[in-house]
């Protein structure tokens, strides 16, 4: 028995401990649309999947059933991409902020 995209969406949503509303918002679709994805009556398009990826969802797993075993999580990859877009002065400031926050705990 194969596992459908809808089943994998549900599994991934549960892994993240998100509601259907949170997944629909992250995917940029209406709640009823997302609900239909989990039911298997509709499938997410590329834009929805890209939005979910940006939110930290394992889209590789949703589409293929194979977990993304990359060293970085989706959220870490997005953070690194955003950091790399900053100019060097802002990168230094961001690092200083993070280091200050982590040493104050």
Which pTM value belongs to this model?
0.65
- How does pLDDT run across 16-29, given as a tens digit for each residue? 899 999 999 999 99
Q: What is the pLDDT of residues 34-49, one digit of tens each?
A: 999 999 999 999 999 9
- Residues with Cβ within 8 Å of 66's Cβ and at least 6 positions away in sequence, in order, are 60
The pLDDT tens digits for 52-74 are 999 989 999 999 988 776 656 77
The conformation of residue 58, written as its DSSP 8-state character, comes to -
Distance, CA of 27 to CA of 59 (rounded, Å): 11
Domain ranges of the chain: 5-64, 74-103
Q: How many CB atoms lie within 10 A of CB 83?
A: 13
- Domain 5-64 homologous superfamily, CATH: lambda repressor-like DNA-binding domains (1.10.260.40)
């Amino acid at each position: 028995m194969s596992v459908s995209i809808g089943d994998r969406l549900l599994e991934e949503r549960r892994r993240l401990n998100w509601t259907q509303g949170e997944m629909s918002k992250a995917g940029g679709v209406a709640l009823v649309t997302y609900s239909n994805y989990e039911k298997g009556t509709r499938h997410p398009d590329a834009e929805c999947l890209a939005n979910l990826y940006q939110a930290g969802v394992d889209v590789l797993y949703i589409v293929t059933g194979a977990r993304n075993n990359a060293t970085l999580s989706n959220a870490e990859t997005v953070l690194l991409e955003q950091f790399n877009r900053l100019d060097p002065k802002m990168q230094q400031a961001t690092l200083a902020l993070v280091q200050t926050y982590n040493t104050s705990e």
